[in-house]
Amino acid sequence: MSKPSFSAVVPAAGIGSRMQSALPKQYLSLNGKAVIEHSLKPLLDHDDITHVVVVLSKDDTYFSQLAVACHPKIVLATGGKERVHSVLAGLTQVNTEWVLVHDAARPCLTRDDIDALLQHAKHIGTGAILATLVRDTMKRGNDNGTIAATVCRENLWHALTPQMFLRQQLQQAITQALQQGVSVTDEASAMEASGYQPQLIDGRSDNIKVTRPEDMLLAELYLSQQQN
């Protein structure tokens, strides 16, 4: 049996309007490097990941200025209107059996979480995502901002990234979902729409997505702790 091969796709064509910054959030400075550089590092450093496709906006002028842009594992692609279109564009540059899709604004990914996904692929052979169990009480709101209901949190998970699937299956699932008008909020949702049941891999809760200004301080703290 041949050894499974892995690559990664990192969609980075968004502008991150909620960050209240002139710079796209993936290019904000975090502990002396751009957020995206932190997000890419554990993928680039992993021996089992052969290349990392970074999907950029056609108007991007920032990535080429980063030191990581010269990394031999980096492959560039041009993104589309929404994240799902960028992921699909990135998949066209992938030639491995498996692909991990990771958010450009998740700078605190650890080697252990990547290993957990890769071991699942090697030993179980099915798609999987990193996730964490919901700990807080969950509320469903009304359009006017009031509470409609309290949602049972049992078996509720926060979906994280990377999300890992067989490249061909993911490409087909996304293409089919777009053709059918299915809302694709992450890669797993496209796979679910095609009848798959991805595995939930318990990931680290510090694998946060930088979305709001206060997230930068939390990411700085987590990165500092991981490096100690």
pLDDT for 1 equals 57
Residue among 172, 25, 164, 4 nearest 88 (CA)? 172
Give per-residue pLDDT as tens, 134-153: 999 999 999 999 999 999 88
Q: 225: Cβ–Cβ under 8 A, 6 or more apart, which residues?
A: 206
Give per-residue pLDDT as tens, 63-92: 999 999 999 999 999 998 899 999 999 999
Give the separation between CA 2 and CA 78, rounded to whole angstroms.
31
Give per-residue pLDDT as tens, 17-67: 555 567 889 999 999 999 999 999 999 999 999 999 999 999 999 999 999
Structural domains of the chain, ranges and CATH numbers in brackets: 6-227 (3.90.550.10)
Give per-residue pLDDT as tens, 153-193: 899 999 999 999 999 999 999 999 999 999 999 999 999 99
pTM of the complete model:
0.94
Residue among 24, 3, 6, 22 nearest 14 (CA)? 24
Q: 201: Cβ–Cβ under 8 A, 6 or more apart, which residues?
A: 113, 116, 117, 120, 128, 129, 130, 131
Whether the Cβ atoms of residue 167 and residue 99 lie closer than 8 Å to each other: yes
CA 24, distance to chain mean position in Å, is: 16
* Helix/strand/coil (H/E/C) assignment for every residue in the chain: CCCCCEEEEEEECCCCHHHCCCCCHHHCEECCEEHHHHHHHHHHHCCCEEEEEEEECCCCCCHHHCHHHHCCCEEEEECCCCHHHHHHHHHCCCCCCEEEECCCCCCCCCHHHHHHHHHHHHHCCCCEEEEEECCCCEEEECCCCCEEEEECCCCCEEEEEEEEEEHHHHHHHHHHHHHCCCCCCCHHHHHHHCCCCCEEEECCCCCCCCCCHHHHHHHHHHHHHHHC
Q: 105: Cβ–Cβ under 8 A, 6 or more apart, which residues?
A: 16, 25, 26, 35, 36, 39, 209, 210, 211
